[in-house]
Amino acid sequence: MEGNESLNSAMRESGLTQVELTDKVNTHLICAGHEGTVSDRTVRNWLTGKTRWPHPRQRKALEAVFGCTAEELGFSPPPARQRHPSSPAEDSVRRRNFLTAASGTTASVAVPFVGAPPRVGTSDVIRLRSGLDSLMALDDTRGGHEGLEQAALAGAAEALQKQKLGATQRVRLRLFSVAADYTATAAWSALDARQPNRAYTLLSKALYLAGMGQDPVAELRVWNSYAMLAHQRGEHVKAVDSAWAAQSASITKRDPLFASLAHARTAIGHSNLGDRQAAIRSLGHAQEALGKADPDQPRPSWIAFYGPAELTAMTAIVRDRIGDSAEAEAASHKALGTIPGQFRRNRALATARLALAQLHQRDIDQACSTASSVFELMNGSPIPGRMRSLLGDYYRDLITLAPDATVAQEWGDRYRTEWRRA
């Protein structure tokens, strides 16, 4: 049975959980003079597609909650009741993919449909959100690159153009939010490509747009990226300050998953400052918060990377930087056993971290073998700048610890060859 992705996207974009949607729909029913008969099971049936056409009262309540028609939310009336079937042109518009990838290297934004109505609504927001999901899927596999950044900026420009034509203030706010997410995606691509100046400029714009859209999730995302950017620049105090700013975003009070990410980022900042106690304390807060998070709650696609596996990978980083290399190696092995296969870039990064932990324990042969497997994992795609920098750190430590080892010299030759290819 096919699920209702449009409703799921609308909930995710609005930041509504199943329980919150149940409450909102029942509130509308009660205000209209009806009983609040919607339950958690009702909402699950909508999301799974078991219920394809809700009761008329429920449809009206759903339309009031999201500001769009039931059809735009993915519901379909029985054939005999379809009074206004979609035209082929409209179906074509709905089928358009935001992202077009040629050999996984280029991306483009679909142009607006000529003759479309001048005012925009929730369906436009949902379509733009689905394009963002496509970009995040490309990032998971390949990492940041120019094509991804340009596609994200085009998405932001389209969202801002449509914002001027928004049918309601609520739709305009949501389009600002979408523009913030696209701009944050472009900033992240620049960050992953190790282009710090461009990343900084884009993050500043994304933070402004998040404020305009009153979107605390996008705000947290930007501060999380600011913390990573500060680390790239060696500004470790700023990295901790940015992570604290992420912790203060209001979404952390409502969703412990976001709180966990902010605490984990703080832990990395403390470890770079050599503050062992603070780093371990922040890791504990991150683990505690993650244990309270509902994994099935609708969330934006950019946060899909974060969960127990990613926290374990971040734990490996912290442990290695505070001198606990054996614990870092164990955490890296655990992370690699649980990171989902589609997150190829993250698996390669965790593998490089494992190699560093092994190297810091003077296990030179094993470390070089592990580090070489990073190239196999990224085979077919250029190595993102952030990963290239991490492998550069590994190489510097390798020639410091074992400058005369044959395996170190062989790995150095492989590294230089791969660097030129990338």
Check if the beta carbon of residue 402 is closer than 8 Å to that of residue 408: yes
pLDDT at 202: 95
pLDDT in tens, 256-315: 999 999 999 999 999 999 999 999 999 999 999 999 999 888 888 889 889 999 999 999
The conformation of residue 36, written as its DSSP 8-state character, comes to: -
- In whole angstroms, give the CA distance from residue 89 to residue 47: 27
Query: Tell me, what's the pLDDT at 320?
Result: 94
Q: Residue 370 has what pLDDT?
A: 94
Least confident segment among 141-150, 169-178, 229-238, 316-325: 141-150
- At a CB cut-off of 8 Å and minimum separation 6, what does 253 contact? 259
Dist. CA 59–CA 400, nearest whole Å:
67
Q: What is the mean pLDDT of residues 152-165?
A: 88
At 36, is the pLDDT very low, low, confident or very high (cuts 50, 70, 90)?
low
117 phi, psi to nearest 5 deg: -60, 150
Res. 16: pLDDT tops 50: yes
Interior/surface letters 268-306, b for 16+ CB within 10 angstroms, e for the rest: bbbbbeebeebbbebbebbbebbeebeeebbbbbbbbbb
For residue 73, report the phi and psi dihedrals to the nearest 5 degrees: -90, 10
For residue 293, the model assigns a pLDDT of 94
d(Cα 421, Cα 265) in Å, to the nearest integer? 32
Give the residue-averaged pLDDT of 37-59: 87
Reduced to 3 states (helix: H, G, I; strand: E, B; else coil), residue 300 is: coil
User: Helix (H, G, I), strand (E, B), or coil: what is residue 327?
Assistant: helix
Token pair for 171: 């739709």
pLDDT reported for residue 341:
75
Q: What is the average pLDDT across 198-208?
A: 94
Specify the pLDDT at position 140. 59
For residue 331, which amino acid is it? Answer: A
The gap between the terminal CA atoms of the chain, to the nearest Å, is: 43
Report domain 5-77's class: mainly alpha
Dist CA 391 CA 50 (whole Å): 49
Q: Which long-range contacts (CB under 8 A, 24 or more apart) does 408-412 make?
A: 408/364, 408/368, 410/368, 411/368, 411/371, 411/372
Sign of CA dihedral 380, 382, 387, 391: positive
pLDDT in tens, 117-145: 457 778 888 888 888 877 777 665 556 66
Residue 327 neighbours by CB under 8 Å, 6+ apart: 319
CB 367 within 8 Å of CB 161: no
Residue 276: alpha-carbon gap to chain centroid: 28
* Cβ neighbours of residue 399 closer than 8 Å, sequence gap 6 or more: 408, 412
Q: What span, in angstroms and rounded, lies between the C-alpha atoms of 396 and 132?
A: 37
Q: What is the pLDDT of residues 312-347, one digit of tens each?
A: 999 999 999 999 999 999 999 999 998 887 788 888
Torsional sign, CA 189, 195, 198, 201: positive
Residues 6+ apart with CB under 8 A from 176: 159, 160, 163, 209, 212, 213, 214, 215
Residue 31's pLDDT is: 59
Domain boundaries, the chain: 5-77, 97-213
187-202: average pLDDT: 90
Q: What is the pLDDT of residues 74-123, one digit of tens each?
A: 988 877 644 444 444 443 333 334 443 323 433 334 434 444 445 777 88
> Average pLDDT of 338-365?
89
Within 10 A of 77 (CB to CB), how many other CB atoms are there? 14
